[in-house]
Amino acid sequence: MMKHSIGLYIILLFKIAPLIAQKPNTSDKKQPEVKKLVQPVFGMMPKYPWNDPKIKISSPPPLTGKKMGSVWTPGIKPLGYELDGKVKVFRLIAQPVEQIISNDQPAEWEALVPAKNKEHINPMKPFKQTLKCWGYNGSTPGPTLEATEGDTVRIIVKNELPEPTSVHWHGFLIPNKEDGATPETAPPILPGQTFTYEFTLKQSGTLMYHSGFNPMKQDDYGMMGLFIIHPKGGYAKKIDKDVGIFLQQFAIRPGNVFPDLTTMDFNWFLFNGHAAPLIPMITVNEGDRVRLRFANTIMDSHPIHLHGFIWEQVGTEGGPIKESARIKGSTINVPPGTTRDVEFVADNPGLWRLHCHKLHHIVNAHADVPMGVMNQGGMFTEFYVVPKNKLKSTTVKKMDSTTPNKSARILRQAQDERSRDTFSARPDLSINSRLKAPSKAAHPEPVEGVEGYEKTEKINLKGKFKPKTNSKNLPLLPSAPQRTNQPGRIT
Ligand SMILES: [Cu+2]
């Protein structure tokens, strides 16, 4: 009985009381007990200013969108570098970011699902969610930086946040003074200031950068990105499709756009700053050697699973794993503070699920879950292997979508355009995708010996790649199962 009372008390406190407390025109007199219970809880929640109105939020640096490496980070713009002699110079701006993380449109891959398979299924509708967070160069995660073992890199970091920051180079074998752990190794970068890191890369692997100052808050607020260091001698086996995925999670309460940084009760789970249905589909060609790189900096581990394949774990943030020590699997757990690289040959055509296997992480905003047929949300996308015999006639235009932030005006404009998008005319998936490509600045040639993902992936659907199209127009997948008494078929 006692247990029941406590349970009811908790339900009242967390589910009902906040609603009553937020109800307009509710006077203290009418709800004295509830107010007493709720106020201390909300009273403890500190206010975090998202921006400083006195600090102008810059547009992304000129080489934003310039593809110079080989790794595709779906949903995030690439970042090129300038050369100062032999030094590769990258520019990062730590700044407030406004980003659409989910929308109410069908997922990209849904156009490939035969209509017959969807008969009798009436899932809940997805909904649009905007996140106001912090990141680099207009997005969370920030851009993926790419260089080669042996390179000297210079990263110029400008701080446009309303508080000090620094950048920690996670897993890097660099001098102590470049570590970005503030205050131990360097002073903070104050709002408005610029700080330059410079070091030589003595290793290879999938590494990360994230805030090194006030990290519990700043990392939780979205400040992170990938830093890929390619091995000096190239890869033992040529990688055809190299994909980077940053795993992220936020606690966003219903009706809010700011993450709640005071809780571990996360309810939004993202690949590269987007939740399903907005995560781009990962499209490869049958026979491609694929490397997937997963990165995680905060709080929870994510066991990422791919249908249809057995992969080998080929690397961590510590670098490549020698062949005799590689572990096989179809799920890879990515604990906080680590990266995990897996590699396999995409020899099994079709549409395959790629998702976190913590099932609370494949829905959005747990709040509206009446346990009906839930639409796919969270860390969920499809890995599409285009069959060899379809490669010539049908292919899918790759979505090297972008994210960045900027003003509310641009956000609204992008939203308006987005609502008119069809899949066939959909180069980008998120806000600010229409920011003008900067880049009159001089730039060096792409990293030698590393083939760009974009170049290798031009698939043309000839305008047939539209949502909710009858499956007859989409010859990409085998047709829906016939309702016969064949084994494994619905009868
Ligand atoms: Cu997860």
- pLDDT tens for 142-199 read 999 999 999 999 999 999 999 999 999 999 999 999 999 999 999 999 999 999 999 9
Q: Give pLDDT, residue 462.
A: 36
Least confident of 223-232, 381-390, 437-446: 437-446
pLDDT, one tens digit per residue, over 63-82 is 999 999 999 999 999 999 99
Centroid of ligand 1 to alpha carbon of 299 (angstroms): 11
Distance 395 CA to ligand 1 centre (A): 31
Q: Check whether 403 has a pLDDT greater than 60.
A: no
Q: Is 72 helix (H, G, I), strand (E, B) or coil?
A: strand
Residue 412 has pLDDT above 70, yes or no: no
Which pLDDT score, from 0 to 100, does residue 187 have?
93
Q: What is the pLDDT of residues 262-306, one digit of tens each?
A: 899 999 999 999 999 999 999 999 999 999 999 999 889 999 999
Q: Which residue has the tokens 């035969």?
A: 114
What's the pLDDT score for residue 161?
97
Q: Which helix (H) or strand (E) holds 43?
A: helix 32-43
Report residue 385's pLDDT band, with 50, 70 and 90 as the boundaries.
Answer: very high
Q: What is the mean pLDDT of the chain?
A: 77
Residue with the bigger pLDDT between 10 and 374: it is 374
CA of 248 to the centre of ligand 1 (A): 9
Any idea which of 103-117, 118-132, 237-251, 283-297 has the lowest mean pLDDT?
118-132
Residue 448 pLDDT > 80, yes or no?
no
How far, in Å, is the centroid of ligand 1 from the Cα of 3?
Answer: 31
188-200 per-residue burial string, b: 16 or more CB within 10 A, e: under 16: bbebeeebebebe
Range with the lowest mean pLDDT among 12-21, 203-212, 436-445? Answer: 436-445
Choose from 3-7, 178-182, 368-372, 442-446 the range with maximum mean pLDDT: 178-182
102 CA → ligand 1 middle, Å: 17
Separation of 301 CA from ligand 1 center, angstroms? 6
- What value does the mean pLDDT take over residues 426-437? 32
**pLDDT score of 396:** 41
* 218, containing H or E segment: helix 215-220
Distance from residue 274's CA to the centre of ligand 1 (Å): 14
- State the alpha helices, DSSP H only, in 358-488: 408-420
Cα 458 from chain centroid (whole Å)? 23
Q: At residue 461, does pLDDT exceed 60?
A: no
Percentage of the chain exceeding pLDDT 90: 59
Query: Could you tell me the end-to-end alpha-carbon distance of the chain, in angstroms, rounded to an integer?
Result: 49
316 Cα–ligand 1 center, Å: 18
Å from CA of 208 to ligand 1 middle = 19
Compute, in angstroms, the gap from residue 364 CA to the centroid of ligand 1: 12
For position 6, what pLDDT does the model report? 57
pLDDT in tens, 29-45: 444 443 443 344 444 44
Ligand 1 mean position, distance from CA 306 (Å): 13
Question: Cα–Cα distance between 393 and 173 in angstroms, integer?
Answer: 47
Residue 148 is predicted with a pLDDT of 98
Q: How far is the CA of 358 from the centre of ligand 1 (A)?
A: 5
Residue 323 has what pLDDT?
Answer: 95
Distance 356 CA to ligand 1 centre (A): 5
Measured in angstroms, how far is the CA atom of residue 420 from the centroid of ligand 1?
32
Kindly report, residue by residue over 98-114, the tens digit of the pLDDT.
Answer: 999 999 888 989 899 99
Of the chain, the percentage scoring pLDDT greater than 70 comes to: 68
DSSP state of 14: I
> What number is the average pLDDT over the span 409-414?
36
**pLDDT score recorded for residue 370:** 59
Of 196 and 425, more confident: 196
Span from the CA of 343 to the centroid of ligand 1 (angstroms): 20
- Expressed in angstroms and rounded, the spacing between residue 353 Cα and the centre of ligand 1 is 14
- Please name each of the domains of the chain with its CATH number: 71-469 (2.60.40.420)
For 165-174, b where at least 16 C-beta lie within 10 A, e where not — what string? bbbbbbbbeb
The better pLDDT of the pair 324, 484 is held by 324
Q: pLDDT, tens digit, for every residue of 342-362?
A: 999 999 999 999 999 998 899
The region that residue 63 occupies, defined by phi over 0 for left and psi between -120 and 50 for alpha, beta otherwise, is alpha
Distance (angstroms) between ligand 1 centre and the Cα of 379 equals 7
In this model, does residue 46 exceed pLDDT 80?
no
Enumerate residues 6+ apart whose C-beta is below 8 A from 465.
Answer: 111, 396, 397, 423, 424, 474
For ligand 1, the distance from its centroid to the CA atom of residue 140, given in whole angstroms, is: 18
Give me the pLDDT at residue 17, please: 47
Give the pLDDT confidence score for residue 363 in this predicted structure: 87
pLDDT at residue 124, rounded to an integer: 77
Distance 370 CA to ligand 1 centre (A): 21
Q: What is the pLDDT of residue 215?
A: 93
- Tokens for 480? 């829906």
